[in-house]
């Protein structure tokens, strides 16, 4: 019998749920383990000339990375192996390194705070010019990509009006849950000669595949849904372009932003249950968003799964679900939001998202959160607990 592990081609036709379980397995040798091992080594045996693909030193490769990078690439529909990084921010920094010196980046004003903060620092240091946009406003994004747009207030356009070199996409955005028309703005970016990087952390490849919508590179904070248990800090980047992958790999190796083998092994273990966790957390989120919308203590609910949400129709077109993050504005303002978080017993008052447990926080408690994020906005990362228990806790906290 053929003892080799199935290839991506042999997984063709499988549902994504099955790919998450089947991909990245060792060869099927009789008596061998069904799970890949953790390899804890900083160096490898070798002599003579080192050529491309040879293992020589732990900063360049580790056998533990390979199955995770294979599985994630397969889930994202990429033809090249993914790249694992020490954190989501390390992956973001690597992606931003693709911008040529003096180039221009167009980025959502409501992106992950660490990403915007890094981009602003790089812009302040003269690495590139930065244009922040409402990513849900397709006309505004297209204008800024072409270099002919004008920011609100009439300020001088960053980059002197030149076309953009990179479009950064978050959809849905963090924490406002705005939904971009990814295909339209990716096409506009390519028309302007720009690369497209999409942060797919919120959606996971089970809900959205940005490469199929026109993105050139997809990044993840693996810390969140992919690992899924709030016990790993890890990042990843995925592309089908071998030249872009080589540039990203070089940046990872030269900057030392490599993933630990044990963390990568844990992330692969978490990936095996991704489909179950996403299915349950999305169902919980949809039910809670509907109930929250009718609660007298709530002023507004942001969730793409609600039929009257501004991003609902776009999300239906380009996503296979609506995610597990809810934004809630409390009617009583910031004080009511803080009081809610303080009263909860099952929900955990903590930042981050995507774990099996439900997390909640008022976003403006972070000093780097944009002023355009409402003070009473509470972000809920819905976990896999029983929905009635989650609702009972929220309800008593809002009374």
Mean pLDDT of the chain: 94
* 290 domain residue, yes or no: yes
Q: The CATH number of the domain where 146 resides is what?
A: 3.40.640.10
| Active site (annotated) includes residue 389 | no
* 184 domain residue, yes or no: yes
Residues 111 and 239 in one domain: yes
Cα–Cα distance measured from residue 141 to residue 329, given in angstroms and rounded to the nearest whole number: 27
Residues 267 and 283 in one domain: no
Cα–Cα distance measured from residue 336 to residue 342, given in angstroms and rounded to the nearest whole number: 10
Residues 216 and 174 in one domain: yes
Residues 358 and 295 in one domain: yes
pLDDT in tens, 10-45: 788 899 999 999 999 999 999 999 999 999 999 999
Domain limit, last residue, from 271, 291, 312: 271
Domain limit, last residue, from 228, 248, 271: 271
| Given the residues 142, 224, 252, 314, the one annotated as active site | 224
* 206 domain residue, yes or no: yes
| Given the residues 25, 55, 59, 343, the one annotated as active site | 59
Question: CB burial class (10 A; 0-12, 13-18, 19+) of residue 199?
Answer: buried
Residues 331 and 196 in one domain: no
Residues 182 and 223 in one domain: yes
| Given the residues 85, 165, 181, 199, the one annotated as active site | 199
| Active site (annotated) includes residue 199 | yes
pLDDT score for 150 = 56
Indicate the number of domains in the chain.
2
Residues 244 and 230 in one domain: yes
Pick the closest to residue 298 from 325, 349, 332 (CA basis).
332
Per-residue pLDDT of the chain (399 residues), as tens digits, is 445 666 777 788 899 999 999 999 999 999 999 999 999 999 999 998 888 888 999 999 999 999 999 999 999 999 999 999 999 999 999 999 999 999 999 999 999 999 999 999 999 999 999 999 999 999 999 999 999 765 444 445 666 689 999 999 999 999 999 999 999 999 999 999 999 999 999 999 999 999 999 999 999 999 999 999 999 999 999 999 999 999 999 999 999 999 999 999 999 999 999 999 999 999 999 999 999 999 999 999 999 999 999 999 999 999 999 999 999 999 999 999 999 999 999 999 999 999 999 999 999 999 889 999 999 999 999 999 999 999 999 999 998
Residues 191 and 335 in one domain: no
* 27 domain residue, yes or no: no
Residues 261 and 288 in one domain: no
Domain range holding 340?
Answer: 274-398
Secondary structure of residue 208 in the 3-state scheme: coil
| Active site (annotated) includes residue 181 | no
* 335 domain residue, yes or no: yes
* 2 domain residue, yes or no: no
pLDDT in tens, 302-335: 999 999 999 999 999 999 999 999 999 999 999 9
Domain limit, last residue, from 271, 294, 312: 271
* 373 domain residue, yes or no: yes
Residues 315 and 229 in one domain: no
Residues 139 and 204 in one domain: yes
Residues 257 and 147 in one domain: yes
How many CB atoms within 10 Å of residue 255?
15
Cα–Cα distance measured from residue 190 to residue 174, given in angstroms and rounded to the nearest whole number: 24
In sequence order, the 6+-apart residues with CB closer than 8 A to the CB of 107 are 115, 116, 119, 130, 131, 132, 133, 167, 168
Cα–Cα distance measured from residue 324 to residue 311, given in angstroms and rounded to the nearest whole number: 15
| Given the residues 112, 225, 302, 363, the one annotated as active site | 112
Q: The CATH number of the domain where 292 resides is what?
A: 3.90.1150.10
| Active site (annotated) includes residue 316 | no
């Amino acid at each position: 019998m053929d003892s080799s592990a199935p290839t991506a081609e042999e997984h063709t036709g499988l549902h994504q749920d099955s790919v998450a379980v089947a991909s990245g397995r060792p060869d099927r040798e009789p008596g061998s383990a069904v799970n890949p091992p953790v390899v804890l080594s900083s160096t490898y045996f070798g002599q003579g000339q080192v050529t491309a693909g040879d293992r020589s030193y732990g900063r360049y490769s580790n056998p533990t990375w390979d199955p995770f990078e294979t599985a994630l690439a397969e889930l994202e529909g990429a033809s090249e192996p993914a790249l694992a990084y020490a954190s989501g921010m390390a992956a973001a920094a690597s992606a931003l390194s693709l911008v040529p010196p003096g180039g221009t980046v167009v980025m959502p004003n409501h992106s992950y705070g660490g990403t915007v903060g890094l981009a602003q620092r790089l812009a302040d240091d003269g690495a590139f010019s930065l244009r922040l946009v409402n990513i849900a406003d397709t006309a505004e994004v297209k204008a800024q990509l072409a270099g002919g747009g004008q920011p609100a207030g009439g300020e001088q356009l960053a980059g002197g009006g030149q076309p953009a070199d990179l479009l950064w996409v978050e959809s849905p955005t963090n924490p406002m849950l705005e939904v971009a028309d990814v295909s339209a703005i990716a096409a506009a970016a390519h028309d302007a000669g720009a690369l497209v990087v999409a942060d797919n952390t919120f959606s996971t490849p089970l809900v959205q595949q940005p490469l199929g919508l026109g993105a050139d590179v997809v990044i993840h904070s693996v810390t969140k849904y992919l690992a899924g248990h709030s016990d790993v800090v890890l990042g990843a980047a995925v592309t089908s372009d071998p030249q872009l992958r080589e540039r990203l790999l070089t940046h990872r190796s030269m900057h030392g932003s490599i993933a630990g083998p044990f963390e990568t092994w844990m992330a692969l273990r978490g990936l095996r249950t991704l489909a179950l966790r996403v299915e349950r957390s999305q169902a919980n989120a949809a039910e809670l968003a509907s109930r929250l919308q009718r609660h007298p203590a709530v002023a507004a609910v942001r969730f793409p799964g609600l039929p009257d949400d501004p991003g609902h129709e776009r999300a239906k077109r380009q996503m296979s679900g609506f995610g597990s993050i809810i934004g809630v504005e409390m009617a009583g303002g910031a004080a009511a939001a803080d009081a809610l978080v303080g009263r909860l017993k099952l929900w955990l008052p903590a930042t981050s998202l995507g774990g099996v447990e439900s997390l909640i926080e008022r976003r403006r408690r972070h000093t780097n959160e944009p002023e355009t994020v409402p003070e009473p906005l509470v972000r809920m990362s819905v976990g896999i607990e029983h929905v009635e228990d989650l609702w009972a806790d929220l309800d008593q906290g809002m009374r």
